[in-house]
Amino acid sequence: MRVGLTCLALLLVSGCGVLLPSRQAAGPSPAATPGPTGPAGERPGARPSPAPSPRSTPQPRPISCAHTKCVALTFDDGPGNYTSHVLDVLAKHHARATFFLVGEMIHKEDGPVLRRMVADGHELGNHTWDHRDLTALSDAALNHEIVRTERLVKEVTGVRMHALRPPYGATDRRVADEARRLGLGQVLWAVDTLDWRDRVPKLVVRRSTAAKPGQIVLMHDIHKTTVEALPRLLSVFDKKGFTYVTVSELFGDLKPGKRYSNR
């Protein structure tokens, strides 16, 4: 993990020859110990090339979800092998979504896909460094899980995230306090598609499209079956007249520390 991060920082500058782990071999590893290193940006002398200015990217739209049928689709645990295809499908339906990124899933080849998320108007959210149950961590480890991903995403995209999704939805007063200190709203969900457990596209379609206006839908862009379900579920939402919004568009500015699952 230390080599990977250092390399990512160096690659952004000069093209370091050490290979990062392949995406296929990597994944959220709940059993791993927290790495001792800080994010890539902390390494002296290894400055990444400047990320595009967030000002040049689409801003949250002033959509009144009190008067419009809004749904906030959210995709967790990536980026992964299917994420760029997910972006293609969302673009076809003019759909914005929120991607809750796991820091250790961000490899050197993911810069373009993360920057495309931003350019396409999607929101980026923090899903911790390696998908730990935050309520089980020490204060220092809890802080590290969040800050390490914040810094890496800022470095790669120029975006400062405002939303935290605690893995497993596990949160408590201490997690809320840390989220508040770090300026992050806690974004949970109202509709769980259970797409990680039931790898059946038609179930993902049925469960996601049961969402009522103003709700957040939880999915995972790392599962092929979810990606297969996406065109169909978007067609159903289209027919029902839904507008696809990011979590910040659904709630307006997220209040740091506050929990959100539906309007």
User: Closest Cα to residue 194, out of 169, 166, 165?
Assistant: 169
> Is residue 220 flagged as an active site residue?
yes
104 lies in the binding site for Ni ion (CB under 5 A): no
The interface region with Ni ion, picked from 75-83, 89-97, 200-208, 244-252 by CB under 5 A, is 75-83
What residues contact residue 69 under an 8 Å CB cut-off, 6+ apart?
213, 240, 241, 242, 243
- Is-catalytic flag, 122? no
Which residue in 96, 151, 113 sits closest to 129, CA to CA?
A: 151
Q: Give me the 154-193 binding string for Ni ion, x by CB under 5 A, dash otherwise.
A: -------------x--------------------------
Residue 123 three-state SS: strand
Please give the sequence-ordered ranges of beta strands (E in DSSP) within 131-227, or none if there are none: 163-164, 185-187, 191-192, 215-220
Do the Cβ atoms of 165 and 186 come closer than 8 Å? yes
Q: Toward Ni ion, which CB reaches closer, 27 or 35?
A: 27
To the nearest whole angstrom, how small is the minimum distance from the Cβ of residue 53 to Ni ion?
A: 29
Judged by CB under 5 A, the number of residues near Ni ion is: 3
Smaller CB separation from Ni ion, 10 or 134: 134
Q: Which of 58, 118, 74 is nearest to 250 (CA)?
A: 74
Asked whether position 76 contacts Ni ion by CB under 5 A, the answer is yes
Interacting residue with Ni ion among 10, 46, 77, 184 (CB under 5 A): 77
Choosing from 122, 144, 220, 223, the catalytic residue is: 220
Nearest residue to Ni ion, scored by beta-carbon proximity: 76
> Half-sphere exposure (CA, 13 Å, Cβ side) for 10?
12
Supply the minimum distance, in Å, between the C-beta of residue 100 and Ni ion. 7
Question: Phi-psi region for residue 94, left (φ > 0), alpha (ψ -120 to 50) or beta?
Answer: left
Catalytic residue (one of 76, 77, 130, 221): 76
Which residues of the shown chain bind Ni ion in the complex (CB under 5 A)? Answer: 76-77, 167
Name the residues annotated as catalytic: 76, 220
